[in-house]
Structure 1
Amino acid sequence: MACGGPNRRLECGEDEEEAEEDKETFTVFEGKPEELGKFLDEHKPSDPAWNTENKEWVSVHNPLEDRDLRDLDKALDMWEDLVSNRRVTPKKIEEIALATKFTGGKWMIFKHRRIIDETWKRMAEATVAGKLGCSAKVSTTYASDTNKRNREIDQHLICVFTKNFADKDDVWRVEKALRSMGITDTLKYKPNIYTHFKLYLGNEYKIKPSLYTSK
């Protein structure tokens, strides 16, 4: 029902090479929909007791969505050409994403530890039921309090993924679904390719790290 490490099930549009490269570790729901409740009860993001291997994320997938493979090497090569020619713009990045099927992205939701379990349960159930995007993940609490990520951290991140950040209808459909589920926070949407191109806040190209914002 669950797995982790490089051989985990991939995120929307994620290829095996990237999964090995990013070194993130996951516990993934691989069971039948009727088994989801038990899985969520046994892998609550706020509870370090089950997480003896210090997995960073718990994730679920929409069984109605097919996974596609993207060409990470080609995307990075095209990015290097773009940078060398000093033509870095959001439009050019979108062209690379579409050419290499590197189109996944995610709405990001931050929640305090005291309410993360219930919020995640609703997001996970809706994802597996096909009511949100192609997958979702939540950051965990580590069992080892010697790990720097577990020291006094009381906030968790939920990522709700869509397959194509250029498909605005689908991106905003998911946003609307999140709002209908009671999410009232300011939400930001980030293409996965931005992370691989290291387009963080204050980057030298003055590209906003979030493509869409919902308030």
Structure 2
Amino acid sequence: MAADMERWIVFDSRKTPRSEFDSWLESNAPSQVQRFGDEESGVGPVGWIAVRGLNYCPATGDDLDGLQESWEQLLSSGRPVTFQTVKELALNHGVLTGKWLMHLDFGFKVDHAWECLARAALDGKIDTAKVSPRDPKSGGDGKHVICVYNNNFTDEREVMQLDNVIRATGIKCSLSYKPDVYTYLGIYRNNRWKMCPTIYESKFDLERVPRRSHIVNKVTNLEVT
């Protein structure tokens, strides 16, 4: 969440000529952009690098204040905190966006994956995607995260279609899917409600014909077909 409050480097396909994209992409490769900026040149911290597609539309109906109030009421009520109760809050307050996540090593892998997804956004196949810049403080084991968004995490067909679009760009690494409402409510790994912080897991299966993802609903532990 802290990164969201810092400077974003954004290519907005709705406003910026397509002819400028290649040079923008080259200048802002995630393996080269420093998370904490450059003090000598006066460049401040960078939270995210993002591409907004032609169909990108900022969320306007989400009631985050109301969501937080209802969350506090849920916690004090003694009702169980489950996927269904959180989903109910999300529907009541219009907080329905979610994202497929992938974690990639520094260097060529993240730059290549990001280019594939950024071009898909440029072509209107993805509404919006973002990638974290390089964080030298994380050491050699640090990774970048790429997030690819859709509008409604409760629409399983929509979520699966986005997985198909991501895979069609050539991405074969494991993906996990997280509703944004989990982030807003602080539902992360090892939370006290013992909820899994993601609701789908996608693994690309090279042995399947035709090749496609093996996706598991982590709420029900059932394969999604």
Which interval holds the TM-score relative to the shorter structure? 0.7 to 0.9
CA contact (8 A) 2:6 2:45 kept: no
Identical positions, percent: 32
Question: What is the aligned partner in structure 2 of residue 25 from structure 1?
Answer: 7
Q: Partners in 2 of 1:75 and 1:24 — Cα distance?
A: 23
Is 1:163–2:151 an aligned residue pair? yes
Q: Partners in 1 of 2:113 and 2:157 — Cα distance?
A: 24
Is 1:75–2:67 an aligned residue pair? yes
Displacement of 1:23 in angstroms is 2.4
Q: Note the alpha carbon deviations across 1:79-133, whole angstroms, 9 max, x for none.
A: 111111132121121121122121111101111222211110110110121212x
Which residue, out of 125, 130, 152, partners 2:140?
152
Q: Note the alpha carbon deviations across 1:128-164, whole angstroms, 9 max, x for none.
A: 21212x211001125xx5xx34x43542111101111
Question: What is the aligned partner in structure 2 of residue 126 from structure 1?
Answer: 120
Superposition pairs for residues 68-147 of structure 1, below 5 Å?
Answer: 68-69=59-60, 70-87=62-79, 88-114=81-107, 115-132=109-126, 134-142=127-135
Q: Partners in 1 of 2:143 and 2:34 — Cα distance?
A: 18
Cα pair distance change 1:154/1:205, threshold 3 Å = closer
What is the one-letter code of the residue matched to 1:76?
Q
Q: Partners in 1 of 2:195 and 2:142 — Cα distance?
A: 29
Q: Partners in 1 of 2:66 and 2:34 — Cα distance?
A: 41
Unaligned runs of 5+ in 1: 1-18
What is the one-letter code of the residue matched to 2:29?
K
What is the one-letter code of the residue matched to 1:58?
I
Unaligned runs of 5+ in 2: 39-43, 204-225
User: Greater RCO between the two (CA within 8 Å, min separation 6)?
Assistant: 1
Q: Partners in 1 of 2:174 and 2:124 — Cα distance?
A: 23
Question: What is the aligned partner in structure 2 of residue 8 from structure 1?
Answer: none
Which residue, out of 34, 37, 47, partners 2:22?
37
Displacement of 1:34 in angstroms is 3.0
Displacement of 1:54 in angstroms is 2.9
Q: Note the alpha carbon deviations across 1:140-194, whole angstroms, 9 max, x for none.
A: 125xx5xx34x43542111101111111111110101112222222210001110
